[in-house]
């Protein structure tokens, strides 16, 4: 369900239309009546304006139109709704009530007043309003080890864009390369890099404290985890000897590393240098991928030095360059103080929350750190490229992947152990680890009611069970509005 807003420049008003498909519109009687009365000066009436001459479309009364508009979750648009009466041409419309409930049974039009007006007359424009937080959404798709990850952008779109660039290469002026491709750092993103770095440390420290009061279970045979008093009873284990156990999990105690997957990448001293060869795979240190992304974005860590250029590189070939002479530049100026980097709390010094109120505050702070880390990392990934193997979880932070032949995924012998590098998305860098949502901590999940339960990232589920409010963006997959039957007999009657 979506709303299409048509703007008539001649009458200077926006008309709301409810549509279910892209080609079939549902109009209100008041709109047809008003536009049939007030004809354009060229002799054409409302038929030419409405639906490109298609007046045989189904109609809606004002009450039905109001009901459908209120059912849609368009509150995030913050539009100002007004009403006017269908007056004759040339008269100024009088403003009426602004509530949708007060317009029930009336023939007034629903109008959106905007301060800016277009100058082109008799021009029909449309604005598409789509709800980005649907009521329910499907769970993230599971890809087996024999399946390759899909490209973020389909390969046909990439080829089409490459042909367009080649076609317009001679006509368009040559654009300057972005700073990371010239060896420079984007100074505007340095504060974001420090925020991501500290948010990661805050998230780890808070999760260590929350796991003292919120139980976490991890399967001893596979990577599945569960947040709750007892492990879930679903037969979804894919580990060794799972067929002998009929797919049942063997639950053990979980740790922070089960929630925050520590994906590691090679640390690059020079991100524009030569690619790491197979012989250098043991001589170069590996650090968490998020930390490596923050270092390349401007975070300075003494234990992991990196090369900082002050001038753009000079290209001598397609893949060859030389560093510019920086001897004529003055000495390094006094830069503003950088924010301090937090430190991880050792496991022996972790203390649980003192009470319920402190646990709720700690859970809310953990959710903010989770969103800060993911949001900041997403902004950094738009500027600093990150690669991921299409067959295994290996992540490389840099313009091109390394050459280490360490891929052990499906049919790796056909690639001689080489990774199949492709552009990474946010979930490749920071896996969310979806777990089953427990509606009631006092009741165990039932195997027969699996279709009625929802899922949420493990960090979000831990914070929710600790007392934090449910974030709006995770409600579609948690299925909070789905009624869970009380028994199996009641579940069989659900259509």
Question: What would the 3-class secondary structure string for 392-433 be?
Answer: CCCEEECCCCCCCCCCCCCCHHHHCCCCCEEECCHHHHCCCC
In the three-class reduction of DSSP (H, G, I as helix; E, B as strand; rest coil), residue 362 is classed as: helix
The reply to whether 326 falls in a domain is no
The number of angstroms, rounded, from the C-alpha of 428 to the middle of its chain's C-alpha atoms is 12
pLDDT at 147 (0 to 100): 86
Cα 443 to Cα 213: distance, rounded to the nearest angstrom = 18
pLDDT, tens digit (0-9, with 9 covering 90-100), for 335-344: 778 889 999 9
| Better-scored residue on pLDDT, 275 or 327 | 275
Average pLDDT rounded to a whole number, residues 33-49: 43
**Residue pLDDT, tens place only, 181-214:** 888 999 999 999 999 999 999 999 999 999 999 9
Tokens at residue 412, please? 């790796």
Q: Is the pLDDT of residue 414 over 50?
A: yes
Residue with tokens 């700690």: 362
**Least confident stretch, 177-186, 374-383, 389-398:** 177-186
Q: Which of 86-90, 336-340, 460-464 has the highest mean pLDDT?
A: 460-464
Q: Let me know if residue 369 belongs to a domain.
A: yes
Query: Is residue 312, in this structure, part of any structural domain at all?
Result: yes
The answer as to whether 344 is a domain residue is yes
Q: Indicate whether 1 pLDDT > 70.
A: no
Share of the chain residues as helix, strand and coil, in percent rounded to the nearest 5? 30, 15, 55
Residue 356 covered by a domain = yes
64 part of a folded domain: no
CA–CA separation, 40 and 47 (whole Å): 11
Centroid of chain to Cα 69: 26
Q: What percent of the chain clears pLDDT 90, i.e. is strictly above it?
A: 45
Q: Is residue 73 part of a domain?
A: no
Number of structural domains in the chain: 2
- Token reading at 66: 């109001």
Nearest by Cα to 18 from 75, 58, 76, 55: 58
pLDDT at 369 over 50: yes
Confidence at residue 114, expressed as pLDDT on a 0 to 100 scale:
47
Q: Tell me which residue range forms the domain holding 254.
A: 178-316+337-494
Q: What is the pTM of this model?
A: 0.71
Query: Does some domain include residue 141?
Result: no
Q: What is the pLDDT of residues 48-87, one digit of tens each?
A: 333 333 333 344 444 554 555 455 544 433 333 333 334 3
Average pLDDT, the chain: 78
Residue 417 confidence (pLDDT) above 90: yes
Output the pLDDT for position 67: 57
């Amino acid at each position: 369900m979506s709303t299409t807003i048509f703007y008539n420049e001649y009458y200077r008003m926006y008309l709301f239309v409810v549509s279910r498909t892209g080609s079939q519109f549902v109009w209100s009687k008041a709109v047809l009546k008003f536009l049939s009365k007030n004809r354009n000066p060229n002799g054409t009436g409302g038929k030419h304006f409405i639906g490109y001459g298609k007046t045989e479309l189904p109609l809606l009364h004002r009450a039905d139109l109001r009901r459908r508009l209120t059912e849609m979750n368009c509150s995030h648009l913050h539009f100002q709704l007004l009403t006017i009466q269908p007056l004759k041409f040339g008269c100024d419309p009088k403003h009426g009530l602004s509530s949708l409930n007060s317009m029930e049974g009336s023939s007034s039009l629903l109008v959106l007043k905007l301060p800016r007006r277009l100058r082109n007359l008799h021009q029909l424009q449309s604005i598409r309003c789509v709800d980005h937080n649907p009521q329910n959404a499907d769970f993230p798709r599971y890809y087996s080890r024999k399946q390759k990850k899909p490209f973020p952008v389909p390969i046909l779109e990439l080829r089409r864009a490459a042909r367009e660039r080649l076609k317009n290469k001679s006509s368009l002026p040559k654009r300057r390369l972005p700073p990371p491709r010239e060896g420079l750092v984007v100074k505007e993103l340095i504060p974001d890099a420090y925020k991501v770095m500290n948010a990661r440390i805050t998230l780890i420290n808070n999760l260590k404290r929350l796991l003292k009061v919120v139980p976490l279970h991890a399967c001893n045979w596979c990577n599945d985890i569960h947040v709750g008093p007892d492990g879930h009873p679903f037969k979804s284990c894919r580990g060794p000897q799972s067929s002998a156990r009929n797919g049942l999990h063997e639950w053990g105690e979980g740790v922070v590393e089960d929630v925050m997957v520590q994906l590691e990448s090679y640390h690059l001293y020079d991100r524009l240098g030569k690619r790491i060869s197979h012989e250098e795979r043991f001589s170069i240190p590996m650090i968490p991928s998020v930390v490596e992304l923050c270092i390349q974005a401007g975070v300075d860590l003494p234990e992991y030095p990196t090369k900082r250029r002050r001038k753009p590189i000079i290209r001598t070939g397609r893949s060859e360059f030389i560093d510019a002479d920086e001897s004529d530049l003055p000495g390094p100026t006094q830069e503003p103080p950088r924010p301090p980097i937090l430190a991880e709390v050792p496991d022996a010094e972790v203390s649980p929350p003192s009470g319920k109120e402190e646990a709720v505050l700690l859970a809310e702070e953990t959710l903010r750190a989770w969103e800060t880390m993911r949001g900041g990392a997403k902004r950094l990934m738009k500027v600093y490229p990150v690669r991921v193997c299409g067959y295994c979880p290996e992540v490389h932070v840099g313009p091109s992947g390394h050459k280490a032949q360490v891929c052990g995924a499906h049919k790796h012998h056909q690639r001689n152990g080489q990774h199949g590098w492709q552009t990474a998305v946010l979930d490749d860098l920071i896996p969310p680890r979806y777990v089953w949502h427990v509606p009631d901590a006092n009741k165990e999940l039932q195997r027969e009611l699996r279709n009625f339960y929802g899922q949420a990232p493990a960090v979000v589920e831990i914070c929710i069970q600790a007392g934090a409010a449910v974030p709006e963006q995770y409600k579609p997959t948690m299925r909070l509005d789905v009624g869970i039957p009380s028994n199996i007999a009641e579940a069989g009657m659900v259509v």
